[in-house]
Chain A
Amino acid sequence: KAGVTQTPRYLIKTRGQQVTLSCSPISGHRSVSWYQQTPGQGLQFLFEYFSETQRNKGNFPGRFSGRQFSNSRSEMNVSTLELGDSALYLCASSSHRGRDIEQYFGPGTRLTVT
């Protein structure tokens, strides 16, 4: 069974640009969550999608948005990039929503904003 894949793996953008990151969950998984990790910070929750609906949102500005498609693939978009958006962005998928369901993480996209 293929794992969670994320594209691209590395990205360099300039301040003010926008970026779209993609996440393909494990086949059959319907829940996709996104996390940001910056130096010195733990993993910060961005949002969760389940069956194409955003179910949870973290404390990030509106420049961060996402969506999920009918095949469960998800994209996140960051508009008007700032230097502080340089981070590792991880997505994770799970088969359904529930307290005992572990999440499977992708390898991440390393975004550098110059």
Chain B
Amino acid sequence: ILNVEQSPQSLHVQEGDSTNFTCSFPSSNFYALHWYRWETAKSPEALFVMTLNGDEKKKGRISATLNTKEGYSYLYIKGSQPEDSATYLCAFIGSSNTGKLIFGQGTTLQVKP
């Protein structure tokens, strides 16, 4: 059974704080790692799709890094804003099942103004 772990489970920060989350996944048979952002009452929205060891991707104040050899990815948010409040999910795709995303439990971020 493949395990994708995310930490912390939840996070409360003040507006302007920078924060980061971790996603751990199996280091063998890696195919891709996705990050999604899920706001309450909305659909999950893709942030990043990462495929190569050492990948670094950035979208505005949000960035992500990938280490496939040790099986982890970090998501960073610089200068958190209240609108960043959401659950952030990572999803692992193994090489044998390219259409199957295995999601972590998510990290729920609450940014206080």
Chain A positions near chain B (C-beta within 8 angstroms): 3-4, 31, 33, 35, 41-45, 48, 50, 55-56, 58, 90, 92, 97-108
Is the pair A102, B99 in contact by a Cβ cutoff of 8 Å?
no
A101 to B49, CA, bound (A): 7
With known contacts A42-B89, A99-B93, A106-B43, A33–B31 Cβ distance under 8 A: no
Is the pair B101, A45 in contact by a Cβ cutoff of 8 Å?
yes
Is the pair A45, B32 in contact by a Cβ cutoff of 8 Å?
no
Is the pair B44, A98 in contact by a Cβ cutoff of 8 Å?
no
Is the pair A100, B51 in contact by a Cβ cutoff of 8 Å?
yes
Number of A-B contacts (CB under 8 A): 64
Is the pair B44, A90 in contact by a Cβ cutoff of 8 Å?
yes
Binary interface profile of B, 59-101, with partner A (CB < 8 Å = 1, else 0)? 0000000000000000000000000000001010100011111
Is the pair A42, B106 in contact by a Cβ cutoff of 8 Å?
yes
Query: How many whole Å from A41's CB to the nearest CB in chain B?
Result: 8
Note all chain A residues with C-beta closer than 8 A to B26: none
Note all chain B residues with C-beta closer than 8 A to A98: 98
Is the pair B49, A108 in contact by a Cβ cutoff of 8 Å?
no
Q: Which A-chain residue is minimally distant from B47 (CB atoms)?
A: A102
Is the pair A90, B97 in contact by a Cβ cutoff of 8 Å?
no
Note all chain B residues with C-beta closer than 8 A to A99: 31-32, 49, 51, 93, 98
Query: How many whole Å from B28's CB to the nearest CB in chain A?
Result: 16
Q: Which of A3, A44, A105 has the most CB of B within 10 A?
A: A105
List 22 A–B pairs whose Cβ atoms lie within 8 Å, in order of A's numbering: A3-B43, A4-B43, A33-B99, A33-B100, A35-B101, A42-B105, A43-B44, A43-B91, A43-B103, A45-B100, A45-B102, A56-B97, A99-B49, A99-B93, A100-B51, A102-B34, A103-B34, A103-B46, A104-B43, A105-B43, A106-B43, A107-B42
